[in-house]
Copies of this chain bind each other. A is one copy, B any other.
Amino acid sequence: MSEIIHPSPDVDQALDGAETDPSLPKEQARERIAVLRTNLLKAQYAALKKADSALLIVVAGIDGVGKGGCIRLLNEWMDARHVSTLAFGPPGPQVAQMPALWRYWAAMPAKGQTGIVFGSWYHELFAELAEKKPDWGRVDHLAQRIREFEDLLTHNHVKVLKLWFHMSREGQAGRVQALLSNPDTAWQVAPMDLKVSKRFDRARRAGAVALTLTHAAHAPWVVIPSADDSLRSVHAGDAVLKALRSRPRPNRLPRTAVTPAVQPLRLDTLDYAAGMSKSDYEPLLAQWQGRLARAVRHKKFASKALILAFEGQDAAGKGGAIRRVTHALDPRQFRAIPISAPTDEELARPYLWRFWRHLPEPGRIAIFDRSWYGRVLVERVEGYASQAQWRRAYREINEFETQLIENGAIVLKFWLAITKEEQLQRFHDRQKSPFKTFKITPDDWRNRKQWDAYVDAANDMFAYTHTAMSPWHLVSANDKHHARIEVLKQIVLRLEAAINT
C-alpha cells in the first residue's frame, strides 16, 4: 500500500537543508549568542510583565541530535525560574486511563511563563507514522486532534512553537559515537539514539509527514539544523525569541464551522405543566435511587467514568436534583464540583483548564454544579467573554466532550428549566424561608433582568452542542418532583445501557 500522505515540498526542503549539516564559525556564534541571550531575557521579562500569554515550545526531532542539550541551554539563557521543562515519558497506569491530552493540560504553564515540552502530544502521531505500514486513518485522526488542540491553545493565550531537530544520518551516528567514547559523556546516550542510523529513513519520513500535517501559521514548525552545536543553539534561540516577541496570533477561521442541530432543542417547547404528586414521587425516588446505586456498583462501571453537568436558570432546583443523585452514591466514588468565579491560577490558563483538573478517573463520578457551559451562558450574557471567544467555545466544548467520551466516560448534560413566573415565586419563597433566604442574592435579581438573553444563549447552546454522543437533557422543572425523577431516570438509563453492552 502506497503512502496516502506525502511531505510538502517546503518541509522536505527544510529537512534536506538540515541534512547538509551546516555549521557556524565559533567566532561568529559567540557574537550572535551574546546578543541573543540579552534579547531572550528582555523578551522573557517583557512577557512576564505583560502576562497576557504563555509560550509552549514543543521539542521534537531525530533522536540523539542534542535536543536535551538545547533544552538545558534555553534554561541557562533564559531566567530558569520562569521556564518549566515539561517532559513526558511513557504514561504510567494512572495517566494511561485518562484522556491522552490530560497530562498536557495538567502541566499547562501560566500566562507569562514558558514551557518546554519534551515527549509531547505528537508522541502517538510520530509512533504511528514510524510504523512500517502506518494506519492512515489513525494518522488522520491523531493529526486532527493535534490541530484542534493547538487551535484551542492559540485561541486561549498560549502561543505554540514547535522545533524539529534534524541532521544527516552520518552526522547523527558520528555524534553518538563521540559521546560514547568519553566515559564522562557516555551516559548522555540513550539506547534509542544508537538505533537511529538504521531507521533513519523511516524516522525522517515520519517527521516530514507529521510536520506537513500540523504546520500552521499560528503554531509553526521550525526545522533546526543540529549537526553543529553553535548553529543549533542559535537557530533554536532565534525561533524562541521570535515566538516570545510575537503577539498571540490565533487562526481566525476555524477549518470547519460547527453546524447547529437541524431540529434544535428549545426552552419554549417544553411542557412546564409536567408534575408529580408526592405519593407518586416517593416510591419512584427510592426505586430510581436503588437502580442508580446498583449501576454504579456494577463491576462494568469500574472502567467507565460518569460526568454530569447541571445547568439551568437560578432557583431551577439544581442543588436539590444533585442531592437526590448523590444520595445513592458512595461518597468515596463521587465529587461534586461547584463552579463559580475562577481562581487566579485558573484565570492564568486556557478556559477549559479548570474543568480538565477535575476530571474523574474510571469508576468515579464528577458532578458539576454549573459547568464549562458558563462560557456560552453567563460569560456571553455578562460580556466576560468576547463574541469571538464564546462563539469559538462551542467547537472547543464539543471537542472536549468528544475526548472524554472516546476515553470511556459517560457524559450527561442537564438543563433544569423553569418559567419566569415560577422563578419569581421561588425567589419570594426563598426570601420568606429562614433557611433559604441565604440562597437569594442581588446577583439573582440582576440575572433575572437578563432572562431573555439567557434563554437565547441557552437555545443557541443546545443548537450547537446537542450532539448524538453528548445530548442535552432539557428537564421541565417547575415541579421539583418531576424534575428530580427525570434526572435520575436519564442517568440510570444511560448507565444501564452502557453496562449492558
Q: Is A294 an interface residue (CB 8 A)?
A: yes
**CA separation between A188 and B327, bound complex, in Å?**
10
Task: Verify B290–A331 contact, CB threshold 8 A.
Answer: no
Nearest-neighbour CB distance to chain B for A297, whole angstroms, equals 7
Contact with B along A335-354 (1 / 0, CB 8 A): 11010100111000000000
Nearest-neighbour CB distance to chain B for A344, whole angstroms, equals 5
User: In the assembled complex, which residues on chain B have CB atoms less than 8 Å from the CB atom of A327?
Assistant: 72
Q: Is A395 an interface residue (CB 8 A)?
A: no
Contact with B along A319-341 (1 / 0, CB 8 A): 10011001110111101101010
Task: Verify B435–A41 contact, CB threshold 8 A.
Answer: yes
**CA separation between A435 and B78, bound complex, in Å?**
9
Task: Verify A297–B75 contact, CB threshold 8 A.
Answer: no
Nearest-neighbour CB distance to chain B for A182, whole angstroms, equals 8
For residues 289 through 340 of chain A, which have their beta carbon under 8 Å from a beta carbon of chain B?
289-290, 293-294, 297, 319, 322-323, 326-328, 330-333, 335-336, 338, 340
Task: Verify A187–B88 contact, CB threshold 8 A.
Answer: no
User: In the assembled complex, which residues on chain B have CB atoms less than 8 Å from the CB atom of A137?
Assistant: none
**CA separation between A319 and B80, bound complex, in Å?**
8
Task: Verify A323–B434 contact, CB threshold 8 A.
Answer: no
Task: Verify A290–B183 contact, CB threshold 8 A.
Answer: yes
Copy tally for this chain in the complex stands at 2
**CA separation between A90 and B439, bound complex, in Å?**
36
**CA separation between A81 and B388, bound complex, in Å?**
31
User: In the assembled complex, which residues on chain B have CB atoms less than 8 Å from the CB atom of A345?
Assistant: 343-345
**Given known contacts A290-B183, A338-B82, is B326 in contact with A75 (CB within 8 Å)?**
yes
Q: Is A118 an interface residue (CB 8 A)?
A: yes
Task: Verify B438–A332 contact, CB threshold 8 A.
Answer: no
For residues 68 through 89 of chain A, which have their beta carbon under 8 Å from a beta carbon of chain B?
68, 71-72, 75-77, 79-82, 84-85, 87-89
For residues 429 through 456 of chain A, which have their beta carbon under 8 Å from a beta carbon of chain B?
434-435, 438-439
User: In the assembled complex, which residues on chain B have CB atoms less than 8 Å from the CB atom of A344?
Assistant: 343-345
Between A41, A68, A93, A435, the greatest number of chain B beta carbons within 10 A of the residue's beta carbon is seen for A435
User: In the assembled complex, which residues on chain B have CB atoms less than 8 Å from the CB atom of A79?
Assistant: 438-439
Partner of A42, one of B85, B187, B336, B438: B438
**CA separation between A40 and B293, bound complex, in Å?**
29
**CA separation between A37 and B344, bound complex, in Å?**
33
User: In the assembled complex, which residues on chain B have CB atoms less than 8 Å from the CB atom of A87?
Assistant: 330-333
Task: Verify A85–B336 contact, CB threshold 8 A.
Answer: yes
**Given known contacts A72-B327, A332-B88, A343-B344, is B42 in contact with A81 (CB within 8 Å)?**
no
Partner of A93, one of B93, B290, B323: B93
Partner of A331, one of B34, B85, B438: B85
Task: Verify A323–B37 contact, CB threshold 8 A.
Answer: no
Nearest-neighbour CB distance to chain B for A4, whole angstroms, equals 33
For residues 182 through 215 of chain A, which have their beta carbon under 8 Å from a beta carbon of chain B?
183-188
**Given known contacts A345-B345, A438-B45, A438-B79, is B72 in contact with A332 (CB within 8 Å)?**
no
Please, which residue of chain B has its CB at the minimum distance from the CB of A41? B438
Please, which residue of chain B has its CB at the minimum distance from the CB of A33? B435
Please, which residue of chain B has its CB at the minimum distance from the CB of A347? B344
Task: Verify A72–B326 contact, CB threshold 8 A.
Answer: yes
Nearest-neighbour CB distance to chain B for A460, whole angstroms, equals 26
The 5 A-B residue pairs with the shortest CB-CB distance in the complex, in nearest-first order: A81-B338, A87-B331, A184-B286, A87-B332, A187-B293
* A binding-site residues for B, Cβ under 8 Å: 34, 37-38, 40-42, 44-45, 68, 71-72, 75-77, 79-82, 84-85, 87-89, 92-94, 118-119, 183-188, 283, 286-287, 289-290, 293-294, 297, 319, 322-323, 326-328, 330-333, 335-336, 338, 340, 343-345, 369, 434-435, 438-439
